[in-house]
Chains A and B, each alone.
Chain A
Amino acid sequence: MEVLVVVKEFTLNRCPSRLAGQMMTPDRGFLLRSHLPARSPSPVRLNKETALQKYLLIAVGGAFGSIARYWVGSTVAGRMGTRFPFGTFIINMTACIILGFSLTYLGKRTGMDPAWRFLIAVGFIGAYSTFSTFEWETLSTLRSGAFALAGLYAAGSLILGLAGTWLGALLAEAIS
C-alpha cells in the first residue's frame, strides 16, 4: 500500500512574484497547481493616480450634490411651508429616481468610463440625498406630537423611495 503524502505548502510569502497571483486553496496547497500557467495579476490594481482621480470625482460630485440639496430644500420649504418636510421628501424621491436611472443605465453597458459612476452615483447622489435629515425630521415631528404625520412621512419616504428607484431603473431600461 502506498502512502501518498501530500505536502501542504503555503508559500505565498516565499514564492517569486510571478506565482504570487496563483489561487491557493487551503486544503490542496500550492504543489497541485504547479503544472498550470500562473494566473495574471488582477486588472483592478489601483495605483496612486487612479485612486486620486476617484476621490476627486467623488469630491466634485459631492460638492455639487450637497449644495443642490441645500438649495432645493430651502426653496421648497419657503414655498410649501413648514407643516410637512416637503423639501427633504422631494430631494430623496428625486435622488432615488436619478440613482435608479444612472446605475441601470451604466450597468447595462460595457465600456462606460467608471468616472461616471464615481461622479454621479457616489458623489452627486450620495451628497444630494440624505437619510440623516429625513430621520431628524421624523424625530422632530414625533416630538411635536404629530405621530400620524411622522408615520406617514417615514412610511411614505421608504415606500415611495423604493418605487422611485424602480421607476428610474425602468426608464433606463426603456431607453436602452
Chain B
Amino acid sequence: MLQSGKAVKVSIYLSDGAKHHHVPVYSSILDFLFHSGIAGATVIKGVAGFGHAHRIHSAHILEISDHLPVKIEFIESREKVDEILAELELRAGSGLIEIQETTVIVPGQDAH
C-alpha cells in the first residue's frame, strides 16, 4: 500500500510494436504490474522519438511512424520496486528503465 512520503518512480521507455513472447511489451509489463499489486501505472504513447537503435520516428511522417515511443510510469515504495525489478528487466528487453527517488502525497491519507 503506497504511503505518503518517500517513494520511487519508475519509468520504462519502450517502442510500440516491440513484443515479448508474441505479446506487446507494454501490455505484458502493464499486466505484470497490475498482478504484482503495484499502486498504479500509466502508459503514455509518444508522437516522436528515437532510442538505442538510433532511428528516428515521427507520427507526422508516414514511413517512420512505426515503433513510436511508449512510456510506462509507476510509483511505488522502494521495497516493492526492488521485489519486481528483476522480472521487469526481463520483460522490458531492450527498453530503458529509469528509477527516480521522489516524494508522494497520497490523497485521503494522513501525512506521516
Contact = CB atoms under 8 A, between A and B. Distances in A.
Given A77-B56, A78-B55, A85 B64 contact: no
Interface size class of A (residues with CB under 8 A): 10 to 19
Nearest to B60: A140
A141 B61 CA distance: 10
B63 A70 contact: yes
Interface in B38-97: 48, 55-56, 58-64
B3 to A, nearest CB: 41
B63 A73 contact: yes
Contacts of A137: 60-62
Nearest to A71: B63
B53 to A, nearest CB: 11
A74 interface: yes
Nearest to A133: B62
A70 B62 CA distance: 9
Interface residues of A, dominant DSSP: helix
A77, A88, A137, A140, most chain B CB atoms within 10 A: A77
B63 A77 contact: yes
B60 A73 contact: no
A77 B59 contact: no
Nearest to B47: A144
Interface string A4-17: 00000000000000
Interface of A: 70, 73-74, 77-78, 81-82, 85, 87-88, 133, 136-137, 140-141, 144
17 contacts: A70-B63, A73-B62, A73-B64, A74-B64, A77-B56, A77-B58, A77-B63, A78-B55, A78-B56, A78-B64, A82-B56, A82-B60, A82-B64, A85-B60, A88-B61, A140-B60, A141-B60
